[in-house]
Structure 1
Amino acid sequence: MISSTLSHMVLILVLGVTTVPDGLTGERSPSIELAADESQHPGGVIDSTLPKLRGMIELYSADRRNIGRFYDAPMSKMASEKTREYLQHWQEVLDAIDFDALERDQQVDHLLFQNDLRYRLRSLDHQQLKEQQIDPFVPFAEVITRLQEKRRQVEPVDGKKLANIITDLDRAVKEARTTIEKQLKEGGEGEQVFEISVANRASRMVDRLQRTLSGWYRFYAGYDPLFTWWVEKPYKDLEKTLKSYSKFIRNKVMAIDDEGDPPIIGDPVGREELMSMLEHEMIAYSPEQLIEIARQEFDWCRKEMVRAAQDLGYGDDWRKALEHVKELHVEPGKQPDLIRELAHEAVEF
Structure 2
Amino acid sequence: MSQYQTIGLSSEMDGAWVNLSDAKNSIDDETEDMPDRVRRVRFDLKELLKFYSITISPRRHERLVQFYSDELKSLFQVRFEYLSQQHKVDFILLRNFIRREQRQLHLDQKAQKTAGFLLPFAPLIVALCESRQDVDEMNGDKTAGALDAIKRGICQTQAEVEAGKLHTSKTTAYKATQILNELCGHLQELLRFYSSYDPMFDWWATKPWQEANAAISQYLSVIQTKLVATRPDAEDEIIGEPIGRAGLLVELEAEMIPYTPKELISLAEEKYKWCQEQMIAASEELGYGKDWKKALEYVKTLSVPPGQQTQLVMQLAREGTEFVQKHDLVTVPKIADETYRMFTMSAERQKENPFFLGGPSIIVSSPTADMPHELKKMVMRGNNTHFSRATAFHELIPGHRLQLYMGKRHNSHRDMFETPFFVEGWAMYWELVFWEMGNFFKSPEDRIGTLFWRMHRCARIIFSLKFHLGEMTPQECVDLLVNWVGHERSNAEAEVRRSFTGDYSPLYQVGYMLGALQIFELRNEVLREGRLKEKAFHDQVLKANTMPIELLRALVLGLELTPDYKAKWRFY
Scaled by the length of structure 1, the TM-score of the pair is 0.77
Instruction: Determine the structure 2 residue equivalent to 1:84.
Output: 65
Note the 1:262-341 alignment, pairs <5 A. 262-328=236-302
Aligned position for 1:255: 229
Structure 1 unaligned regions, length at least 5: 1-36, 40-47, 187-192
CA contact (8 A) 2:125 2:183 kept: yes
* C-alpha deviation, 1:130, in angstroms: 0.4
Q: 1:74 offset after TM fit, Å?
A: 3.1
Give the stretch that moved more between structures: 112-121 or 319-328: 319-328
Q: Deviations over 1:142-187 (max 9, x none)?
A: 11111121111111110011111111111111112123233x268x
Q: Distance in 2 between matches of 1:315 and 1:254?
A: 46
1:240 corresponds to which letter in structure 2? A
Q: 1:161 corresponds to which letter in structure 2?
A: K
Q: Return 116-125 or 146-155, whichever deviates more.
A: 146-155
Q: Which residue of 2 aligns with 1:144?
A: 125
Q: Give, in angstroms, the shift of residue 328 of structure 1.
A: 4.2
Partner of 1:171: 152
Amino acid at match of 2:61: S
The amino acid that maps onto 1:53 is: M
Kindly provide the CA deviation profile for residues 98-141 of structure 1, in whole angstroms up to 9, marking residues without a partner as x.
Answer: 21121221111111111111101111110111001101111111
2: CA distance between counterparts of 1:176 and 1:198? 15
8 Å contact 1:197–1:267 — kept in the other structure?
yes
CA distance in 2, matches of 1:97, 1:214: 45
Partner of residue 230, structure 1 = 204
What is the distance in 2 between the residues matched to 1:334 and 1:172?
Answer: 55
1:201 maps to which residue? 175
**Partner in structure 1 of residue 74 of structure 2:** 93
Larger radius of gyration: 1
Following superposition, the deviation at residue 218 of structure 1 comes to 1.4
CA distance in 1, matches of 2:134, 2:100: 29
- 2:84 is matched with which residue? 103
Structure 1 residues 181 and 261: alpha-carbon distance in aligned structure 2, compared to 1, 3 A threshold: closer
Task: Tell me what 1:25 maps to.
Answer: none
- Does residue 1:211 correspond to 2:185, yes or no? yes
CA distance in 2, matches of 1:303, 1:224: 72
Higher relative contact order (CA 8 A, sep 6+): 2
Question: CA 1:229 to 1:113, structure 2 compared with 1: closer, same or farther past 3 Å?
Answer: same
CA RMSD of aligned residues (A): 2.9
Letter in 2 for 1:70: F
Residue in 2 that maps onto 1:17 = none
| Residues 302, 292 of structure 1: alpha-carbon distance in 2 compared, 3 angstrom cutoff | same
Quote the residue 1:69 is aligned against: 50
2:208 counterpart letter in structure 1: P
Evaluate the alpha carbon distance shift between residue 102 and residue 320 of structure 1 in structure 2; reply closer, same or farther with a 3 A threshold.
same
Q: Give the C-alpha shift of residue 332 in structure 1.
A: 9.8
Q: Contact between 1:251 and 1:258, CA under 8 Å: does it hold in 2?
A: no
Contact 1:144 1:209 in 2 (8 A): yes
Partner of 2:403: none
Counterpart of 2:223, as a letter, is I
Give the Cα–Cα distance (whole angstroms) in 1 for the partners of residues 303 and 93 of structure 2. Answer: 48
CA distance in 2, matches of 1:77, 1:167: 23
The letter of the residue matching 2:43 is: A
- CA distance 1:167–1:185, change in 2 (3 Å): closer
Trace 1:16-27 onto structure 2 (pairs within 5 A).
none
1:128 corresponding residue in structure 2? 109
Three-state SS of the structure 2 residue aligned to 1:136 is helix
- SS of the residue corresponding to residue 245 of structure 2 reads helix
SS of aligned partner of 1:134: helix
Q: Distance in 1 between matches of 2:214 and 2:259?
A: 48
Alignment coverage as a number of residue pairs: 295
Check 1:38–1:130 CA distance in 2 against 1; reply closer, same or farther (3 A cut): farther
Matched, 1:243 2:224: no
Q: Calculate the TM-score normalised by the size of structure 2.
A: 0.48
| Conserved 8 A contact 1:256-1:262 | no
CA drift at 1:296:
1.2
Q: Percent identity?
A: 30
How far apart in 2 are the matches of 1:309 and 1:146? Answer: 64
SS in 2 for 1:126: helix
